[in-house]
Amino acid sequence: MSLWEYANPRKFMAWTAPVLPWAFGLAAVSLTVGLVWGFFFTPDDFRQGSTVKIIYLHVPAALMAINAWFMMLVASVIWLVRRHHVSALAARAAAPVGITMTLMALFTGAVWGSPMWGTWWAWDPRLTSFLILFLFYLGYVALWEAIEDPDTAADLTSVLCIVGSIFAVLSRYAVNFWNQGLHQGASLSLDAEENVADVFWFPLLVCIAGFVALFVALVLLRTRTEIRLRRIRALDARSARA
């Protein structure tokens, strides 16, 4: 069976139904373990004090804010190339989750930055590109809502998503590109020497797993809702014609 057959709305509904409770369960367990471990059972940092505990929210949220946009980019490109409706609906379903993650990353970053940098906000390359990414998310959702024809909406939002990807890349690599500003480099790296200390690193990994599972669960749930809404509209249109 071709991989694309899983994107058939009927098949998508069938295979996601049993996956959904597992995804939500995995998210609940990972987030509970990771956040309780990080908040209650890790020490303060010798320079940042207890604010280091914000890392368990800020880093996973920022990671998911950027990766949600990349998931939307892949789904949008699939829509533009192969016209699979489920991919367009999955991109639409992911946007509010991405907005939530971006908002969380911006807020936790601001309250962490306030005591560490002496300011809530600075027009630093990473912070600024992240704010622009947030505005792109809002624009993306607004564009979907503004256009009545679903295929036209999917086309235009896909183009917007491709353009916005520049800021998703900048959000991730701004620090490396400009090498200036307040925000430090990546907290996570394949180079072990650049990572945070193990005592913070392991609970952080569990939290990241929890955020990934939550994102997957929410996108599946919301995509299923979008498919059902599309079916309702089709039924309405059919009864209007009759």
Partner 1 sequence: MPDLGTYATEVLSAYAVSFVLLVAIVGLSWRRARRVKRELEQRDG
Binding mask 102-121 toward partner 1 (x if CB under 8 A, else -) reads -xx--xx--xx-xx------
Q: What is the DSSP letter of 53?
A: G
Strand partners, 49: 45
Task: Give the 3-state secondary structure percentages of the chain, helix then strand then coil, rounded to 5.
Answer: 85, 0, 15
Token pair of 189 as six digits? 């790296």
Q: Which of 73, 169, 40 is nearest to 177 (CA)?
A: 169
Tell me: does residue 229 bind partner 1 (CB under 8 A).
Answer: yes
Nearest residue (CB) to partner 1, 32 versus 152? 32
Q: Are 97 and 218 in contact (CB under 8 A)?
A: yes
**Residue 53 contacts partner 1 per CB under 8 A:** yes
Between residues 82 and 231, which has the closer beta carbon with respect to partner 1? Answer: 231
Q: Among 163, 109, 154, which residue's Cα sits nearest to residue 136?
A: 163
Q: How far apart are CA 48 and CA 91, in angstroms?
A: 38
Under rule CB under 8 A, residue 54 binds partner 1: yes
> Rule CB under 8 A: is residue 153 a binding residue for partner 1?
no
Nearer Cβ to partner 1, position 52 or 170? 52
Which of these ranges, 54-62, 141-149, 168-176, 185-193, lies near partner 1 under the rule CB under 8 A? Answer: 54-62
For residue 61, the minimal CB distance to partner 1 (Å) is: 7
Q: Rule CB under 8 A: say whether 19 interacts with partner 1.
A: no
C-alpha torsion angle, residues 157, 124, 193, 27 (rounded to 10): -40
Interface with partner 1 by CB under 8 A: which residues?
35, 39-40, 44, 49-51, 53-54, 57-58, 61, 96-97, 100, 103-104, 107-108, 111-112, 114-115, 214, 218, 221-222, 224-225, 228-229, 231-232, 235-236
